[in-house]
Structures are given as C-alpha cells and as structure tokens.
Amino acid sequence: MRLVRVLPFLVFSGLLLLTGPSFAEEIKKIQDNSFLLEEAYNQEDGVIQHIQVFQYLKKSKDWQYSFTQEWPAPKQAHQLSYTIPVAHLDGDDTTGIGDVQLNYRYQAIMQDRVALSPRLSLILPTGDHKKGLGTDTVGYQINIPLSVELSDKVVTHWNMGATYTPRAKDIAEERANIRGFNYGASLIYLVNENFNLMLETAGTSVETFPVNGLSATESTFFINPGMRFAINFRSGLQVVPGFSIPIGVGPSEGEYGGLLYLSFEHPLF
C-alpha cells in the first residue's frame, strides 16, 4: 500500500472540517501527542482525544496504522486510553490487527514549564502470532515522557521506556521471554500557537527469539523532521493534522518513508 493512497482521505477530512463551524477566536496552544514520541500532557478535564497515525517505510514496503483514544479519568491527573494497531508486512504479504494496548497515565508533574506523566500499559494478545502480528501472550510496558518548555517558542520532549513480554510465541511456535527498550527526544519550535516545526529522534532495542539457543538484539533509530498545525473551532474542537519524514540512521540506515498524523480533540459534552 502506498502512502499516496491515504492522502485523499486526509484532504477530504480537511475539506469537511473547513466547511464546518467557524474558527475560534480564542487560540488554543497545541499540546498534543508527537508523532514517534509521547508528550507529557494528560487530557484536560472533560476533553477526549482521537489520534490516527499512518507510517509507510519505502525500503521494507511495510506500513503501520494506529488509532488511539484518550480519556481523563475523571480528571487530568489520571488518564485512560487504548491503542489499536494495524500493520502490513510486505515480506510476508500479511495485513491485520496487532496487539492492542490498554494504557494508564498519571500526571505526576504539571507546572508552568515542566510536565511528567509515567504510563503503564497492558499489551493484549489480539494479533495473530502465526502471521508475525502478535505474541500470543499478555505483555507489559512502561514509558516515562518528560516535557520541558525552554522558552515561549521552544519545547523539548524526552521519552524512555521498556517492554516485557513473558513467554511470547513466534511464527515457529517457539516461546521466549522478550525484553525491549525505547528512547527518544524531540525539539518543537512554535512558529506560532497554531503551527509547529518538529524534529524527533526515536530508537528501539528488542530481543529476538533465540536461534540454536542464542538470542540477539534488533535495533532501530530514526530522525523524524516534520510539522503540524491546529484548526480551532468555537465548539471547542481542535483538529491537528501533521506530516513528517522518518529517516533511518545507524541500525536503520537506508530506510525512509512518510508519516501522516491526524488528531481530533473536543469536550465530552
């Protein structure tokens, strides 16, 4: 599936929004999820967010899509969310739903310029391990996002996390305990409150299933320049489209692609 096939959907969505309610006079600053990283801002009281991300990698010809919905529970200090992933693995010509995540985040710090919100997730075995889309067991993940405003124009985000999947099963029906780590940092420049330039770096390191009793580690690392902008409505709806170009370096050298982002955030009632 090519990235260009998704563009008409986003353009059509944008046209529908532009023909909807008029824009809000009061500007709402973008405090959103980034593309490859989490920002450390839980959902505001009474506000729900719907997030879609589509990423296509040219070299592998794989694509991934995810839908996330975030809820305050019931206030900003606590947040519940779920993420439904869909993936296409071109090498195996396989497409399907992956392992769904159920997430809880705690807003540990929310000061003027610093935010911290650790997340704990259950990874449910909803993907088909025989197709390489799942692990056939419950996994656990923790991630610690930290957001720091360096100035009125510059914001940084930092992530570090780990995943543990006990007795994961691979395509060959072999089981093993799999550990993984993720990390990343980003720099966001606020051209204005409704338009941001973004530069992310994100990496992973995941154990592989043992072969002849020996396990190894697979790593990825991407630099991800991009942009996003906000469309605000008097109703309280904020729409944030975005685009970036993930570029592989180091263990991912030679890989590149495109990423599309679309977020809807609005009051519950």
Tell me the whole-structure pTM to 2 decimals: 0.87
What does the alpha-carbon distance between residue 198 and residue 148 come to, in Å, rounded to a whole number?
15
pLDDT in tens, 55-75: 999 999 999 999 999 999 999
What does the alpha-carbon distance between residue 14 and residue 7 come to, in Å, rounded to a whole number?
11
What does the alpha-carbon distance between residue 77 and residue 75 come to, in Å, rounded to a whole number?
6
Using 50 as the pLDDT threshold, list the residues of the chain that sit under it.
1-26
Domain extent listing, the chain: 3-263
pLDDT in tens, 177-230: 999 999 999 999 999 989 999 999 999 999 988 877 677 899 999 999 999 999
Which helix (H) or strand (E) segment holds residue 12: the answer is helix 7-18
- The CATH code that applies to domain 3-263 is 2.40.160.40
- The average confidence (pLDDT) of the chain is 90
CA 109 to chain centre: 21
